[in-house]
Amino acid sequence: MKVLVIGGGAREHALCRSLSQDPAVTELHCAPGNAGIAQVATVHPVDQLDGAAVLALARELAAELVVVGPEAPLVAGVADPLRAAGIPVFGPSAEAAQLEGSKAFAKDVMAGAAVPTARSYLCTTAEEAAEALDAFGAPYVVKDDGLAAGKGVVVTADRTAALAHAAACMTVTAERPGGGSVVIEEYLDGPEVSLFAITDGTTVLPLQPAQDFKRALDGDAGPNTGGMGAYSPLPWAPEGLVDEVLDTVLQPTVDELRRRGTPFSGLLYAGLALTSRGTRVIEFNARFGDPETQVVLARLRTPLAGLLLAAANGTLAALEPLRWDEGAAVTVVVAAQGYPAAPRSGDVIEGLEKAETADGTVHVLHAGTREQDGLVLSAGGRVLSVTATGADLAQARERAYAGVAEIRLEGSQHRTDIALRAAQEAAAS
């Protein structure tokens, strides 16, 4: 099978790594890719948001499967011309990707499918926003209605800050032409879980749950980021969680989207809060999450290409049950100095080979890198995702941090507490 992956972050590196290990894959391509992806796939300098260019590349390569990684090309509709041309594509249509692209659309689908989520108001004026904030009380949750790479949400006890973010979300700018509205919702307490499911629009196959760390600094301090690390499995999660979420969230959502005439095929990501009043959806994403993908795929034993192709072709129901590594995986993101506000780039990265182990238990996935004159340079806020597997979380953690310790990147930052509490609790129980 000739496979083309669209994107150039650590999620796509993880996808490419797993695809390259699938014996069914005879050729692997990625656009635009990065310096790490170039080691396992042929990379092509094609604009991932340009549907016509992606289609032309897929045709030129005679791709038999195209996997669209990030949300931006999905929301921009890059999957649509591919599907129209009869090329199997893993990733939803532009219409179905609105599940991630518009919080208001997602809330509407959840209401239609009776999926438990935070109560919310869609506001278009400062007066409405103020009323909504007062209706729920502190802590306040204020969300940009459009795509914001995980950074459009402010959770704060400060009413003035909440109002200021609401005003910013409602301002229409050149970068945010879809602005004009803001979602204000009730605060959800309790731990968060990311649960991914592969779906062909009818059948839904949940993957293993993971947890990510959104805040920049240890102890969940600092600003929200795209994600600073992740681990899987979750030894503390209640038994039956995956089945419950399949029955109450994932299957009803997929059924509702099909009923509306916007069938969703690809990866449905449920961001959940396990609150004192039950499981609630915080958000949906229309693609693999980054960095959770790094740990989920590190544990998946079922060959990836066949799984994604079955989703693209509508034949998931015929697939064997998924197979998983019984152990654990941890990934630690190495970010550039200044991330998330003003990351610096163009610095030389050293120690990449030393960080990895020959048996693959530690592997370095590139998030934002590029190659120049034989050197690997930083080229993004999140630069690397050092991923390790082990018999349990403690061992996977230890290995991941041993890998991180080998990396040399001036001014870089990483959290030191990824999976720490879960590993300690698991060891104590």
Residue 153 in contact with ligand AMP, rule: CB under 6 A = yes
Radius of gyration (C-alpha) of the chain in whole angstroms? 21
- Nearer Cβ to ligand AMP (117/361): 117
Q: How far is the CB of 123 from ligand AMP (least distance, A)?
A: 15
Closest CB 340 distance from ligand AMP, rounded Å: 13
Q: Which of 40, 155, 237, 241 binds ligand AMP (CB under 6 A)?
A: 155
Task: Give 153 or 312: the residue with its C-beta nearer to ligand AMP.
Answer: 153
Nearer to ligand AMP, 284 or 401 (CB): 284
Instruction: List binders of ligand AMP among 52-91 (CB under 6 A).
Output: none
Nearer to ligand AMP, 229 or 271 (CB): 271
- Does 335 bind ligand AMP (CB under 6 A)? Our answer is no
Residue 166 engages ligand AMP in binding (rule: CB under 6 A): no
Comparing CB distances to ligand AMP, the nearer of 1 and 118 is: 118
**CB 227 within 8 Å of CB 213:** yes
Least Å from the CB of residue 224 to ligand AMP:
6
Q: Please, which residues have CB within 8 angstroms of residue 86's CB and are 6 or more apart in sequence?
A: none
Residue 141 interacts with ligand AMP (CB under 6 A): yes or no: yes
The footprint of ligand AMP on this chain (CB under 6 A) covers a number of residues equal to 15
- When asked if residue 283 is in the footprint of ligand AMP (CB under 6 A), the reply is yes
Pick one of 8, 69, 70, 150: the residue that binds ligand AMP (CB under 6 A): 150
* Residue 77 phi, psi (nearest 5): 90, 25
Tally Cβ neighbours within 10 Å of residue 372: 11
In the shown chain, the binding pattern of residues 227 to 266 toward ligand AMP, with x for contact by CB under 6 A and - for none, equals ----------------------------------------
Per CB under 6 A, the segment of 147-155, 286-294, 316-324, 403-411 that binds ligand AMP is 147-155
Pick the closer one to ligand AMP by CB: 201 or 227: 227
Q: How far is the CB of 282 from ligand AMP (least distance, A)?
A: 5
Candidates 189, 185, 140; CA nearest to 160 is: 140
> Of residues 214, 366, 370, 414, which one binds ligand AMP by CB under 6 A?
214
Of 149-157, 202-210, 295-303, 355-363, the segment contacting ligand AMP by CB under 6 A is 149-157
Give the interface with ligand AMP as residue ranges (CB under 6 A).
118, 141, 143, 150, 153, 155, 185, 187-188, 192, 214, 224, 271, 282-283
